[in-house]
Structure 1
Amino acid sequence: MAPQSASEPEPGRAGRPDGPGRAGDGGEAAPDPRRWKALAVCLVAGFMTLLDISIVNVALPSIREGLHTPTSDLQWVLSGYALAYGLFLIPAGRLGDARGRRVVFMVGLALFTLASAACGAAQSSTWLVISRLVQGLAGGVVTPQISALIQQMFSGSERGRAFGMFGTVVGISTAVGPLLGGLLIQVAGEREGWRWVFYVNLPLGIVCLALARRLLPDTPAAGRVRVRELDPFGVLLLGAGVLTLLLPFVQEQQWHGRLKWLLVPLAAVVLFGFVKWESRCTKGGTQPVLNLSLFRVRSFWLGCLLILLYFAGFTSIFFITTLYLQSGLHYTALQAGLAITPFALGAAAAAGVGGRLVGRFGRPLVAVGLTLVAAGLVMTAFAVQHVPGRGVGWAMAVPLLVAGLGSGLVIAPNQTLTLSRVPVPMAGSAGGTLQTGQRVGSAIGIAAVGSVFFAQVAGDGWSAAYDHGLIVAVAFTVAALMVALADVAAGRRERNRTGEGVSPRKS
C-alpha cells in the first residue's frame, strides 16, 4: 500500500467526472436541481438499513417472550443481520457501478421492505432468523449505492455537506435505535411490540421506492453486463473470506472453546487468494469486483483502517450499555434508550458541522473527534463508578453527549476524506469497501468488548464489567486516533517534499 501521490487531485475532483449531473466519464453538465431531494431519499433508506442493526438490541427480551426463542436463535437475530449485511456490501457496490445505481438501489430497497414485513409477521424463531438474513442482505445491497450516488451527484463543498448529512444519519441511526425500539415496545406491549420494530420500515420503504424512481439519477457508465464480467469467482472468494472472518466474532458467545479462532488465519488465507485473483483480473483486462489500485491511495486505505477500528469501539458502546442498564439495573427498554439519547443528540449536532469543516481542516478534524470520543468514554466510566444505583443514567448524560459530539466529527468527515480521491466509476465498490470495514469492526468490537464484559459480570458485578468493557472500547478509539495522526504526519511530510504550502485539505 504505497502512499498517495502528490499529483493526486484535490478532494472532490477525482478524475473530474464526479459532480452533480455530470456524465460520469467525461464532460460536465449543470448540477441536477433535484439532487438534494434525491439525497433525502438516499438518507431515509440509509437510516432504515442502519437502524435495524441497533434497534433490535432492546427488542430481544420481547422477542424471547413472544416467540419463546432460544438464546442461540436470539444471537442470530442480532448478528445474522450484520453478517449478511457485511457479505454483500462490496459485490453490491460493484454491481451498482456496472448495472446502474438507481436500479440496484430500488431492488435492494424493495427486498428490504418485504423482508421487514416477513420479520414482523414471523411465527417462529427460525422464520425470524431467515427473514433477518434476507433483510441484512438487502441492506448490504442498498448502502453502497448511497455513498456512490453522493459521489455522483455532488462535488466540492457540496459533497462535504452531503457526506455530513449521511454521517449524521449513520450516527443517529445507530444511537437512536434503542430509544425508538423502546418507544415502540412501550406503546405496543412487551409481548407483541417487537413486531413493530420491523413494521415501521414498511411505510418508509414504500414511499422511498416511489420517490427513488422519480428522483435518483441514472449511472451514465452503466450498461448490460454478462455475469462473468462481474467477476463471480472474485465475489465468491471475497464472500468466503469475509464470512470466515466474521463467524467466530459474531458467534463468540455461542461457540465455546478456542478452536473457532482457527477460522481467522483461514480467512487470511482466503482473502490473500482473493487479492491474488483480483491482481490477475486487473492484468488480464477483466473488471475486478474490487480494484486494488484504490489501496495505493493513502487517504482511502488509512480511512478504511481508521473506521474499522473506530466502529469496533463505537458499536460496542451501545451493546454493553443496553445490557448494563436493562439486565444490570433493570431499566425498561424505553429507559435504556433514553439514557443513550445524549450520544445521538451530540452526533447529530456535530455531524453537519463536521461535513462543512472537513474541506478546511481535513484529517486533523477527525483526530479531534476521536479525542473527544475517548474522553467522553473515560468520563462515562468515571460516572458509573461514582454514581450508585439507578441514577447512573443521569450521570452518563454529559459524558455520552461529549462522546457523541466527537463521533459526529469522525464518521462523516472520514467518509468524505476516504472517498475524496476515488474516481466516480469506482465509487460503489469503494463505498462498499468502506462500509465492510465498519461491519467487520463492529463484529470484532462486540466480540472483544463483550467477552471482557461477560467475564467480569460473574465475579465483579455489572458496574465493574461495564467499566472494563468501556476500557476496551477506548483502546479501539485510541488506535483509530493513532491512524488519523499517522495520516496527518504523512500528509505534512509529503507537502514538505513537494514544497507546497500548508493545506489542511491534504492532511
Structure 2
Amino acid sequence: MNQTSPTGSSRRIMAAMFLPLFAALLSISIVNVALPAIEDSLGASSADLQWVLSGYALAFGMALVPAGRAGDIWGRRRLFMIGVVLFGLASLGAALAMSPLVLNAARLFMGFAAGILTPQVIGMIQQLFTGSARGRAYGMMGTVIGVAVAAGPALGGLIIDTTGTDFGWRATFLINVPVTAAALLCILLWLPKPQDDDAAPGAEAQAPTGGQPQGILRLDPLGVVLLSLAVLLLMLPFIQFRSLLGGLSAVAGLLVLWLWMLWERRAGRRHESAPMVNLKLFALPSYTLNTIVLGLYFAGMPAIWAVVAVYVQQGQGQGALIAGLVTLPSAAMVVLLSSRVGRAVERKGPRMLVAGTVTAVLAMLLLSGAAALMATPYGSLWLLAAALGVVGVSQALIIPSAQTLSMHDVPEQMAGAAGGVAQTVQRVFTAIGIAVVTGIYFSVSQEQGHQSGIVIATLVIAALMLSSVAAAIFAARRAGQAGPQEPPGPQEHRGR
C-alpha cells in the first residue's frame, strides 16, 4: 500500500504505528521527574535510580539492530505487535514493583520491548509510503519524538503532584498499559497485513541460492552477539562505570565493533543476504552522512532535558509539575512545525537540516543567556521556557529532515536493519552526551552552584552542536553534487 497523498487510511496507519512509539519514547523522559518519588517510595539507592534510567537505555540500544533485521526477515507487522505486547506487560510489571530490583528488571524488559518495536516503524514507513507521503510520515514521526521527549516531564509532574508520591510514580508506568492496549487494537484494525508477512520483501519470493542462510541463521546469530556486546561495552562507561574500568570497557567495545564489521564483511562475501547489516549500506552517502548528523545532534540536545529538570527542582526549588511545564513550549513548536517540515523535505530537506542545526546552537545560547538572567531581577523560568521553544524548532527541522534523507536511497528489504543501526547510533551518542553534560553540570554545581552549572552546561551543548552544523553543511553539499544513489542489494521494491 503505497501512499502519495494524505488519506484517511494513511492517517489511521500512522496512528497505529506511532501510538506505541510515543509510549516507548515517553518512558524515557517521564521517569526523570519520577526519580525522587521512586527513591522515597522504595527506598532506592542512587545506584538503583541510575539503573532505572540506564537499564532502559541499554536494553533499548542492544535490541534495535537485531530486531530491525528480524522484522526485515520475518515480517515487520508481526515483530511490531510482539514488541507492543511485551512493552505493555513490562510496564505493568514496573508499576507493580515492590522493590528496586524488580523495578529495574521490569525497566530492562521495557527497554528490550521498545527496541523491538521501534525499528519496525521505520521499516514500515519505507514499506507503506512513497514520495511526499513518506516525508509526511517521517514528519509525523518527528512530532511524536519531540512531543514524547518534551511533554514527558510535564505529564509525569502532573501525575505525581495530583496523585501522590507512591501511586504517582507507579502511574507514570501504568499509563502505558491502556495506551499499548489501544495501540494493539489499532494495529489489528488498521495496519495492513502483508500477504507474505513471514518473509522479507523481495527475498523469500526467490528460490534459495548457494550460500544463502536458512532458518535462524538468516538472522546472523554471531553478528547479533558481536554487535550487542559492542553496544553494551560502549554504553556502560557512560551510564554506569565512569572510571578506568569504564575506559577499558569502551576500548573493548571498539575492538568488538571492529570484529563485528570484519564478520559482516565476510558474511556479505559469502551471500548478500547473510550479514545482519549489509555493509554496502554505508556506501550510500545519503544514509551515512544524515545518520551522522542525527547522531551528533543527539550527542548534545537530549541532555538538556535532564539538566533543566534538575535545575528547576533543585536549583530553583520548584515542584515536578513546574519542571515539566517549562518544557511544554518545545513540544508545542514540534507539533506546529514537524508535519510542515515533513511535507517540504523532498524539496528543501538539506537546507532545513542546516537551518535546524544552526537553530540548535542558537537555542543553547539563548538558554544560557536566560539562565544567566536568573541571578538578576529580570530572570524568569518562562524565559527558560521560551528558549526551550527554540529547541523545539530545531527538533522539528532536524529530525524529520535527517530521517527522511537518510532513508531515501535505502532499499525496502534493508529498511529495518538500516533503521536499527541509525537508532543505535542515536542511543549511543545520547548516552555519551548525557554522561558528559550532566557530569559537567553536577561538577560545576557542587563548586559554584546550580546557576553556574546550567550556564556552563548549555554552552557545552552549544559547542557540541557546532559539530552537527558542520556535518549538516557537508551532507547538504554532497546532496547538491550527487543525484539518487544506487542502492545495495536486490532492486525489487514492492509496496505491501
TM-score normalised to the size of structure 2?
0.91
Report the equivalent of 1:149: 124
Q: 1:338 aligned to 2:329?
A: no
Q: 1:414 aligned to 2:402?
A: yes
Shift of 1:355: 0.5
Shift of 1:110: 0.2
Q: In structure 1, how many angstroms separate the alpha carbons of the residues matched to 2:29 and 2:359?
A: 22
CA contact (8 A) 1:221 1:425 kept: no
Structure 1 counterpart of 2:322, one-letter code: Q
Q: 1:36 aligned to 2:11?
A: yes
1:349-386 Cα offsets, whole Å, 9 max, x none, are 22112111111112111110111121111011111112
CA contact (8 A) 2:286 2:479 kept: no
Q: In structure 2, how many angstroms separate the alpha carbons of the residues matched to 1:311 and 1:201?
A: 25
Q: In structure 2, how many angstroms separate the alpha carbons of the residues matched to 1:210 and 1:196?
A: 22
Q: 1:308 aligned to 2:291?
A: no
Gaps (5+ residues) in structure 1? 1-17, 22-29, 496-507
Structure 1 counterpart of 2:457, one-letter code: G
SS of equivalent residue, structure 1 residue 330:
coil
Shift of 1:289: 1.0
Shift of 1:19: 3.1
Aligned to 2:444, which of 456, 473, 493? 456
Shift of 1:407: 1.3
Closer/same/farther in 2, CA of residues 368 and 256 from structure 1, 3 Å limit: closer
Aligned to 1:137, which of 101, 107, 112? 112
Q: 1:173 aligned to 2:127?
A: no
Q: In structure 1, how many angstroms separate the alpha carbons of the residues matched to 2:406 and 2:363?
A: 25
Q: 1:110 aligned to 2:80?
A: no
Structure 1 counterpart of 2:455, one-letter code: D
Q: 1:437 aligned to 2:425?
A: yes
- How many residues align? The count is 467
Aligned to 1:239, which of 228, 235, 239? 228
Q: 1:267 aligned to 2:253?
A: yes
Shift of 1:36: 2.4
Identity of aligned residues (%): 38
Shift of 1:227: 1.1
Shift of 1:493: 3.8
Q: In structure 1, how many angstroms separate the alpha carbons of the residues matched to 2:471 and 2:6?
A: 35
Q: In structure 2, how many angstroms separate the alpha carbons of the residues matched to 1:133 and 1:458?
A: 31
Report the equivalent of 1:319: 306
SS of equivalent residue, structure 1 residue 123:
coil
1:69-98 Cα offsets, whole Å, 9 max, x none, are 011010000111011001101110000111
CA contact (8 A) 2:25 2:148 kept: yes
Report the equivalent of 1:504: none
1:418-474 Cα offsets, whole Å, 9 max, x none, are 011111111111111111111111101101101111110111110111111111211
1:101-500 matched pairs, under 5 angstroms: 101-219=76-194, 222-223=197-198, 226-251=215-240, 255=241, 257-285=243-271, 286-388=273-375, 392-494=380-482
Structure 1 counterpart of 2:236, one-letter code: L
SS of equivalent residue, structure 1 residue 280:
helix
Shift of 1:31: 10
Q: In structure 2, how many angstroms separate the alpha carbons of the residues matched to 1:487 and 1:164?
A: 19
Shift of 1:34: 2.9
Report the equivalent of 1:500: none
Across the aligned residues of Structure 1 and Structure 2, the Cα RMSD in angstroms comes to 1.8
Shift of 1:392: 3.2
CA contact (8 A) 2:56 2:111 kept: yes
CA contact (8 A) 1:329 1:389 kept: no
SS of equivalent residue, structure 1 residue 394:
helix
CA contact (8 A) 1:97 1:219 kept: no
SS of equivalent residue, structure 1 residue 55:
helix
Q: In structure 2, how many angstroms separate the alpha carbons of the residues matched to 1:198 and 1:237?
A: 32
Q: In structure 2, how many angstroms separate the alpha carbons of the residues matched to 1:397 and 1:61?
A: 23
CA contact (8 A) 1:172 1:347 kept: yes
Shift of 1:388: 2.8
Closer/same/farther in 2, CA of residues 107 and 129 from structure 1, 3 Å limit: same
Shift of 1:256: 5.2
CA contact (8 A) 1:100 1:218 kept: no
CA contact (8 A) 1:350 1:406 kept: no
The range that moved more, 466-475 or 57-66, is 466-475
Q: 1:97 aligned to 2:72?
A: yes
SS of equivalent residue, structure 2 residue 317:
coil
Closer/same/farther in 2, CA of residues 428 and 256 from structure 1, 3 Å limit: closer
Gaps (5+ residues) in structure 2? 200-213, 484-496
Q: In structure 2, how many angstroms separate the alpha carbons of the residues matched to 1:206 and 1:389?
A: 49
Q: In structure 1, how many angstroms separate the alpha carbons of the residues matched to 2:245 and 2:435?
A: 15
Closer/same/farther in 2, CA of residues 220 and 97 from structure 1, 3 Å limit: farther
1:9-57 Cα offsets, whole Å, 9 max, x none, are xxxxxxxxx9349xxxxxxxx9997332121111111100011011100
Closer/same/farther in 2, CA of residues 458 and 234 from structure 1, 3 Å limit: same
CA contact (8 A) 2:119 2:419 kept: yes
Shift of 1:218: 3.2
SS of equivalent residue, structure 2 residue 299:
helix
TM-score normalised to the size of structure 1?
0.89
Q: In structure 2, how many angstroms separate the alpha carbons of the residues matched to 1:101 and 1:489?
A: 34
CA contact (8 A) 2:294 2:399 kept: yes
